Structure 1
Amino acid sequence: MSRLLSRRMFTASALTVAALALSACGGSADAASDREIGTDLESIARLAKEEKKVALIAYPENWANYGESFKAFTAKYGVEVEVASPNASSAEELTAVKNLKGQKTQPDVLDIGFSFTGPAVSQGLVSSFTPSLADEVPDNLKDPDGNWLGAYYGVLSIGVDANKVDVPKTFQDLLDPQYKGKIAIGDPRDGASVLAAVTAAALANGGSMDDITPGIEFFQKLADAGQLVSSNSASQSLTTGEAAVTFDWNYNYSGITEELTASGVDLQVSVPSDGVFGNLYAQPLTIDSPQPNAGRLWIEWLLSDEGANIYATSGAVPARLQAMKEAGTLSKEAEAALPPAEILENINFPSIAQGEAANQSVADGWAAVAAAL
């Protein structure tokens, strides 16, 4: 079973719910407000080493090259990385903070899709923190009040087993009968990459960032035609033959290529030309983080040249891309792994209001699609 089983497409199991409930019974943690917090990178790093670890949630090792980042972070700072529920979805991350708030098992830092940043702030689950390199992050990749910052972003892509079907170049191609019962889709109400697929389909069908209804209607058309199958994992769907067409961020396909090749899958990845859409994942510090300095240091690391180059070698676009290019700190290997410039230039990030509107649209309209699967 893939380690990305529910990272992008939410499936709340009884086991997960039970584990969260049991964890919430643990002893309470000291509030961050009662702890010494470093005032610069040097003091944050010193205090983080005393805290010994950073507690993360929903950070799979093969998502955006996090496995390499964990090792490099620990080697540099002497702070261990602990990851709870690595395959949890963004929705599950917020639930975990609610359930574990004030407990020693509460995560320090999240990794949530953009559409979940608003709920995280409004529900009081995150704490304001401005890292030292925040000025080099474009305004559309960070919260003006410092509640969150996106260290990287990706491009919605279509991953295909070319042994089974032709590689579609556009969303319209997916209407071809050859894809009947072979297109995997999750639930956009709970997973950021699935919502990205709906948004990209909207852009391909006359919609806009302000109105993703045409994307919902497009997937309804696919469902009615029998093209779709419900699935919670791109890699599992392709490996088992459950489906031959999947949607995900470009950087995640690089993380499962070896696994799929070993299973006899000829993975081919394309960005649909009629629906180019990219978006960020945010890494907010949680409210009253149990390891407040280690949490801050992790965010600093992700933005650093070292952390950003590790992101980029998987195809994840560092938030500081332009600043790194100008400073000459983006490695040639990392730059070669990124999506082509002509694709990156076509990405327009949604505003908070547009993200909230998209959430509402799928909340109102996806049930009919789900019922047809």
Structure 2
Amino acid sequence: MRKLLKVSLLVCAIAGSVFASIVVDYEAYVKELAQRARTEGGVINTYGMPETWANYGEIFTRFYELYGIVQEDIDMGSPVVLARMTEENASKNDVADLKPTFAILAAARGLTSDYCVSCWELLPENQRGKDPNTGSVWYTAYWGTIGWLVNVDMVKSIPYKWTDLLNPAYKGLIGYLDPRATGTGVTTVEAAAYAVSGDPFNYKAGVDFLKQLHDLGLIGSVDPLVTVARWQRGEIAILINFDYNLLKWKYDNPEINSVVVIPADGTISTGGGVIMAKNAPHPWTAKLFLEYLLCGEGQVLYAKAFVHPINPTVKLPEEILAKFPPKESYQSAIFMDYLKELEIIDALRDYYSKVVFGG
């Protein structure tokens, strides 16, 4: 982090592209936030940020070491976070982790703060935003990409493209998550759609491709929950999921000869949303945490759990970078338009249910 940089003031311009900013000493700015945070009781209340997800255990441990602030989390999924913050008028939690679509909806409801972190202008424009009507802000803090984990001792030919998965040699060896029950399953359909049609929102093309895999007898499992058990037992050899899960499973199972593949013919990347509650009980603590998470050390700690930091200026240690697929592998990936995605999810799930399972 450069010592001198532009710090967005507490109010970003409603237009979204023009910001009130001044050049200040960043270290002094964070020090001031920390001093104000110390008057708020030494607690940060979080929703959907358990220690087992995205390295939040280490992230909050380090935050405590730096500032003496203890995390109190209630783990819940994105729909529950949004419903609860709506019911509570965003007054019980300080920050939350949720899917970007729900973060955008929270901002549209005026449930998130208008605070813009100091590195706001460094973050990708499509991974942060300010609602034009409410002035509420949302961010993504990290991202992941759909790919697959291959047990190379079980297959003679590694599939590097979606179309490679049509190989009859993979009979019963491919597994993916059910889009009717999981967001990852939805993104899997979108990634396949993008690869075979060039349009990630052409969900029928994605579902029809998965139907081909089923009709050829290539699918060994469709799971309603994230699991690696079948792959560990050797019941399937090709497991489709986000790369951060695939990389963790690869390194957690060194006895299995495996490789993580980012499909070369197209795939989808999507972020993990983070928001500050509009009426946060510890507002200075929440602002301090967002600075730490998005503009500082938190970005590096995310990467230790194989989630990609959203801040492009962050430099990762070589020992962390070495565990990721090569950077050029991700050239085939695009980010989703989160609001447009929200418009197709129900239709995608209905079409999948009818076509793949006749429901």
TM-score, with length taken from structure 1: 0.74
The runs of at least 4 consecutive aligned structure 1 residues that moved more than 6 Å come to: none
Deviation string 1:104-125 (CA, Å, 9 cap, x unpaired) is: xx44322223343343334554
- The answer to whether the 8 A contact 2:173-2:235 is kept is yes
Tell me which amino acid in the other structure corresponds to 1:254. L
CA distance in 2, matches of 1:343, 1:299: 30
Equivalent residue, structure 2, for 1:45: 34
* Aligned residue runs from structure 1 range 162-311, under 5 A: 162-165=152-155, 167-188=158-179, 191-226=182-217, 227-231=219-223, 232-241=225-234, 243-261=236-254, 265-311=256-302
Tell me which amino acid in the other structure corresponds to 2:79. A
CA distance in 1, matches of 2:144, 2:221: 24
Equivalent residue, structure 1, for 2:150: 160
- RMSD, aligned α-carbons: 3.1
- The answer to whether the 8 A contact 2:190-2:201 is kept is no
CA distance in 2, matches of 1:298, 1:237: 38
- The answer to whether the 8 A contact 2:101-2:339 is kept is no
- The answer to whether the 8 A contact 1:198-1:216 is kept is yes
Match for residue 79 of structure 2 among 76, 82, 91: 91
Q: CA offset at residue 214 of structure 1? A: 1.0
Identity of aligned residues (%): 27
Tell me which amino acid in the other structure corresponds to 2:33. I
Deviation string 1:226-267 (CA, Å, 9 cap, x unpaired) is: 415221123234235554332222223333345434xx5444
Q: CA offset at residue 78 of structure 1? A: 1.0
Q: Larger helix proportion, structure 1 or 2?
A: 1
- The answer to whether the 8 A contact 1:90-1:192 is kept is no
Change (3 A) 1:260 1:372: farther
Tell me which amino acid in the other structure corresponds to 1:230. V
- The answer to whether the 8 A contact 1:91-1:190 is kept is no
Choose 1 or 2 for highest CA Rg.
Answer: 2
Equivalent residue, structure 2, for 1:350: 336
Change (3 A) 1:187 1:41: farther
- The answer to whether the 8 A contact 1:314-1:337 is kept is no
TM-score, with length taken from structure 2: 0.77
SS of residue matched to 2:249: helix
CA distance in 1, matches of 2:112, 2:230: 34
Q: CA offset at residue 139 of structure 1? A: 0.7
CA distance in 2, matches of 1:91, 1:189: 15
Say which is worse superposed, 251-260 or 64-73, in terms of deviation: 251-260
Q: CA offset at residue 150 of structure 1? A: 1.1
- The answer to whether the 8 A contact 1:168-1:174 is kept is yes
Change (3 A) 1:240 1:54: farther
CA distance in 2, matches of 1:233, 1:310: 23
- The answer to whether the 8 A contact 2:147-2:242 is kept is yes
CA distance in 1, matches of 2:144, 2:305: 10
Equivalent residue, structure 1, for 2:103: 117
Match for residue 142 of structure 1 among 122, 128, 132: 128
Structure 2: unaligned runs, 5 residues or longer: 1-27
Structure 1: unaligned runs, 5 residues or longer: 1-38
Q: CA offset at residue 129 of structure 1? A: 2.5
Q: CA offset at residue 179 of structure 1? A: 3.5
Tell me which amino acid in the other structure corresponds to 1:192. G
Match for residue 66 of structure 1 among 48, 56, 65: 56
CA distance in 2, matches of 1:141, 1:233: 25
Q: CA offset at residue 338 of structure 1? A: 4.4
Aligned positions, number? 324
CA distance in 2, matches of 1:168, 1:270: 8
- The answer to whether the 8 A contact 2:262-2:330 is kept is no
